[in-house]
Structure 1
Amino acid sequence: MGRPRTPLLDRERITTTALELVDEQGDFSVPQIAKRLGTQTGSVYHHVDGRDGIVELLRERVTSAIDPGTLDVTPWDAALEAWARSYRAAFAAHPKAIPLLMTSPVRAPRVLEHYERAVTLLLDAGFTPAEVMPVLIALENLILGSALDLSAPETMWELTEETPTPRLAQALAAVGEHRADQAFEVGLAGFLDHVRHILANGA
């Protein structure tokens, strides 16, 4: 029996399967990947550097949806805003991956290169080295929190007669649809105003 034209197992298939599992249940295991691909667990390990290696493949896959061209926009604050929107969209497509990816060290070379570009953008704009990472981490916190919010139920507050909350009811009725998008716009505008102040006046 000849060998199949298409390999039954490779890093792309492993990554795709791991991401499917994460999208479904928020995590994955190597035996689950092997079972879904119809192979042995040991065979998966021949292609990846253990579970941590698969996590980094997932990181590369999810972040590959971030448009790198956003960091070439001018001026710097327009670039940061465009990057934030693209970053949010990439992670909003896989919200269950956020806790997994944000609680493990970043090792993937392509992702590190992306961070290098973001840091360079801020340094070239005039931020001091000490200011750069707090700015980037604060922006990521806003982006990832908002990406999770996009996956939340539309009704996050269940009002009951037992606990009268007329003002809350009024506010919820007034916000209408797309509350997550509206909240992101408020947060992003406030963030950008603050970092412009940092650049002009120091932290």
Structure 2
Amino acid sequence: MGRPSKALLDRERIGATALALVDAQGDFSVPQIAQRLGVQTASVYHHVQGRAGIIELLRVRIAEAVDASTLDLRPWDRAVEAFARSYRAAFAAHPRAIPLLTMSQVAAPEALAVYERAVGLLIEAGVPEETVMPVITALDNLVLGSALDLAAPEAMWQPASDGSTPLLARALAAVSSGRRTDVAFELALTALLTHVRELAAAEPEGPGTTGG
């Protein structure tokens, strides 16, 4: 028999198969991936470094849908806002993968390159270096939390039928039109950008400056 025109197994196929399993059941195993691809489990390990390596393939595959070119926009806050929206949309398509990714260290070169650009953008904007990673972490928390929320029921709270939660019932009834998760995301993103603008605009204290 001649050799197949295309390899039966590669990192792209492994990542796609793992993501399909996670979308369907919230997790994956290497034997499951091998079974779906029609290969031996050991063959999968020839292409990836165990479970952690496959999780990084998941991260890269989902992140391919994020428009990283938004980080080239100016001013910087326009770039962060556009990036956050694209980031949220990409991960909202695969909410069951988020718990796996948040419990694993980011190591994929493709993902690290995007973080490098984000760090450069914030430093260019004037955000103090010691605050850059907290800002990026806050953005990650906001986006991934909101992406998970998009998979949750629209009505997350059911006021007690005995009338013991009247304030909650009133607050729910007072919510303005629009999808709950989208309204909450806009509120949180606006608050984050407002705070980062303040950080970027703050004058650093000189050696002779005293407080009060």
TM-score by length of 2: 0.90
The equivalent residue for 1:36 is 36
Larger radius of gyration: 2
Look up the SS of the partner of 2:157 in the other structure.
coil
**Are 2:66 and 1:61 aligned?**
no
Matches within 5 A, 1:40-119: 40-119=40-119
After the TM superposition, which of the residue ranges 104-113 and 164-173 deviates more from structure 2? 164-173
Q: Distance in 2 between matches of 1:163 and 1:33?
A: 51
Counterpart in 2 of 1:183? 184
Match of 1:128 in 2: 128
User: What is the DSSP-based 3-state SS (H/G/I as helix, E as strand, rest coil) of the residue aligned with 1:155?
Assistant: coil
Q: Is the counterpart of residue 169 in structure 1 residue 188 in structure 2?
A: no
User: Could you tell me which amino acid in structure 2 is paired with residue 156 of structure 1?
Assistant: M
Q: Which runs of no fewer than 5 residues in structure 2 stay unpaired?
A: 205-212
Deviation at 1:134, TM superposition (A): 0.8
Identity level (%): 64
Structure having the higher helix fraction is 1
* 1:200 match: 201
Take 1:25 and 1:173, find their aligned partners in 2: how far apart are those partners? 35
- The aligned residue for residue 11 of structure 1 is 11
- 1:150 to 2:150 alignment: yes
TM, length-normalised to structure 1: 0.93
Structure 2 CA distance for aligned equivalents of residues 44 and 52 of structure 1: 13
C-alpha displacement at 1:166, in angstroms?
2.8
The CA deviation at 1:45 is 1.0
**Measured at CA, do residues 195 and 41 of structure 1 come closer, stay the same or move farther in structure 2, by a change above 3 Å?**
same
Q: Where has structure 1 moved over 3 Å in runs of 4 or more?
A: none
Instruction: Tell me how many residue pairs correspond in the alignment.
Output: 203
Return 179-188 or 120-129, whichever deviates more: 120-129
- Could you tell which deviates more after superposition, 114-123 or 24-33? 24-33
1:194 and 1:157 map into 2 onto residues whose CA distance is 29
**What SS does structure 2 have at the residue aligned with 1:145?**
helix
Instruction: State the 1:198 CA deviation.
Output: 1.3
Matches of 2:163 and 2:34 in 1, distance apart?
50
Once residues 122 and 194 of structure 2 are traced to their aligned partners in structure 1, the CA distance between those partners, rounded to angstroms, is: 15
Mark the runs of 5 or more structure 1 residues left unpaired by the alignment. none
